[in-house]
Structure 1
Amino acid sequence: MAAAQVVRSEWTKIRSVASTVWTLSLAVVVTIALGMLISALSRSEFDGMGARDRLSFDPTFISFAGMSLGQLAMVVFGVLVVSNEYSTGMIRTSLAAVPQRGTFLFGKIAVATVLALVVSLATSFAAFFLGQAMLGEHRASLGDDGVLRAVIGGGLYMTLIAVFSMGVATMLRSPMLSLGILVPFFFLISSVLGYVDATEEVGRFLPDQAGSRIMQVVPPVDDDTPYGPWGGLGIMALWVVAALVGGYALLKRRDA
């Protein structure tokens, strides 16, 4: 089967599965709604902040507060895109139709990545503009230094979260196992490693912590992170590449 046919086939699979559509919709709603809520709360608390907190006040990053939960939906989306076929047994049919496993995986990842990118960029811009509206006089402008980079970076960050999850799901094949590893990894292990002094240096190089740097415009006071916004996104991209390479290697070696 030609690559174009594989892409069309994968697009049909994604849009015909209700769970993937609902997960993307949930990512949009949660990210925007929570970002607006946190922005409104930050506006009301600004006058009571100390001088140190005001120095590190980052209106752009605050509007992305909802991504902490929105990325969970992107993790689920990434896992479902890959592992749905394993859980239903359709993977055997798919691989029989496309015996070139590299072409099969590329088509699936490419279609899902483009879809995730479009949704993520739209979500990031919406979260920014609506969040700034909630911040009132404390808002940032898209033309301010570093803001456009942060907003575009927010979309790239959510996309990379989804693609990383696709790579892990390709390796593990099981949706429950994939989610059982990815959810604690992002929402428990990464947080613990990042906020405990003894492991903080390690935590900084995990994909979510490194990648989220791209969304920061105002760095925290006394910040000593050894990389900048694009460097952090580059570290995250390396994690994604490693997951995809691992997924492809295992897909090529084993039976469906």
Structure 2
Amino acid sequence: MAATQVLRSEWTKIRSVASTVWTLSLAAVLTIALGVLISILSRNEFKNMSVKEQMGFDPTFISFAGMSLGQLAMIVFGVLVVSNEYSTGMIRTSLAAVPQRGTFLFSKIAVATLLAFVVGLATSFIAFFLGQAMLGSYKAQIGDPGVLRAVIGGGLYMTLIAVFSMGVASMLRSPMLSLGILMPFFFLISNILGAVSATKKIGRFLPDQAGSKIMQVVPPVGDDTPYGPWGGLLIMVIWVVVALFFGYLLLKKRDA
């Protein structure tokens, strides 16, 4: 089967499954809604902040506060895109139609990545503009230094979270097992490692902590992270590439 036909087939599969459409919609709604709420609370609390907190106040990053929940929906999207066919048994039919397993896997990931990027980028821009509207006089402008990079970076971050989840799901195949590992990893383990002083230096090299640097415009006061926004994104990309590589490797070696 030609590559264009495989891409078209994967697009049909993704858009015809209601759960994948709903998870993308949920990612956008959670990110935007929570970002607006946190922006309102931050505006009301600004005058009560200490001088140190005011110096490190990042209005752009505040509007992306909803990413912490939105990324969980992106994880579900990434897992479902890959593992749905395993759970239904359709993977045998798909591999019979497309015996070139690399073509099959990367066509699926390419279509899902493009869809995640479109949704992620639109979500990032909407979250930013609504968040800044809620911040009032404390807002940032899209033309301010570093702001456009951060907003585009928000879309890239959401996309990479989804693609990383696709790589993990390719390795594990089971949606329950994939979600059972990814959800606690991003929602609990990463936050704990980043908050405890003994493990903070390890935590900052995890994909979510490194990748989220791209959305920061004002570095936190006393921040000693050894990389900048683009360096953090590069670390996240490396995690994604490794996950995809092992997902592809296991797909080639295992039976359907």
Q: TM-score range by the shorter chain?
A: over 0.9
Q: What is the match of residue 12 of structure 1?
A: 12
> By how many angstroms is 1:190 displaced?
0.4
Question: TM-score, normalization: structure 1?
Answer: 1.00
Q: Separation in 1 of the partners of 2:34 and 2:185?
A: 22
Q: Is 1:144 the counterpart of 2:117 in the alignment?
A: no
Q: What is the match of residue 130 of structure 1?
A: 130
Q: Separation in 1 of the partners of 2:222 and 2:28?
A: 33
Deviation track 1:58-108 (CA, whole Å, cap 9, x = no partner) reads: 000000000000000000000000000000000000000000000001100
SS at match of 2:141: coil
Q: Separation in 2 of the partners of 1:15 and 1:54?
A: 45
Question: TM-score, normalization: structure 2?
Answer: 1.00
Letter in 1 for 2:116: A
Q: What is the match of residue 87 of structure 1?
A: 87
SS at match of 1:205: coil
Q: What is the match of residue 161 of structure 1?
A: 161
> By how many angstroms is 1:154 displaced?
0.3
SS at match of 2:201: helix
Letter in 2 for 1:244: L
Q: Separation in 2 of the partners of 1:29 and 1:198?
A: 35
SS at match of 2:198: helix
Q: Separation in 2 of the partners of 1:195 and 1:41?
A: 23
SS at match of 1:160: helix
> By how many angstroms is 1:253 displaced?
0.2
Q: Separation in 2 of the partners of 1:30 and 1:106?
A: 28
> By how many angstroms is 1:6 displaced?
0.3
Q: Report the identity percentage.
A: 82
Q: What is the match of residue 208 of structure 1?
A: 208
Q: Separation in 2 of the partners of 1:54 and 1:145?
A: 18
SS at match of 1:197: coil
> By how many angstroms is 1:252 displaced?
0.2
Q: What is the match of residue 72 of structure 1?
A: 72
Deviation track 1:25-56 (CA, whole Å, cap 9, x = no partner) reads: 00010100000000000000011111000000
Q: Is 1:24 the counterpart of 2:47 in the alignment?
A: no
Q: Report the number of matched residues.
A: 256
Query: Gapped runs of 5+ residues in structure 1?
Result: none
Deviation track 1:92-146 (CA, whole Å, cap 9, x = no partner) reads: 0000000000000110000000000000000000000000000000000000000
Q: Separation in 2 of the partners of 1:30 and 1:249?
A: 34
> How does 1:1-256 map onto structure 2 within 5 Å?
1-256=1-256
> By how many angstroms is 1:5 displaced?
0.3
SS at match of 1:198: coil
Over 2 Å off, 4+ runs:
none
SS at match of 1:30: helix
Q: Separation in 1 of the partners of 2:29 and 2:193?
A: 29
> By how many angstroms is 1:11 displaced?
0.2
Q: Separation in 2 of the partners of 1:229 and 1:238?
A: 15
Deviation track 1:161-207 (CA, whole Å, cap 9, x = no partner) reads: 00000000000000000000000110111011111111111000000
Q: Separation in 1 of the partners of 2:10 and 2:119?
A: 17
Q: Separation in 2 of the partners of 1:192 and 1:67?
A: 17
Q: Separation in 2 of the partners of 1:76 and 1:196?
A: 27
Q: Separation in 1 of the partners of 2:119 and 2:135?
A: 24
Letter in 1 for 2:212: S
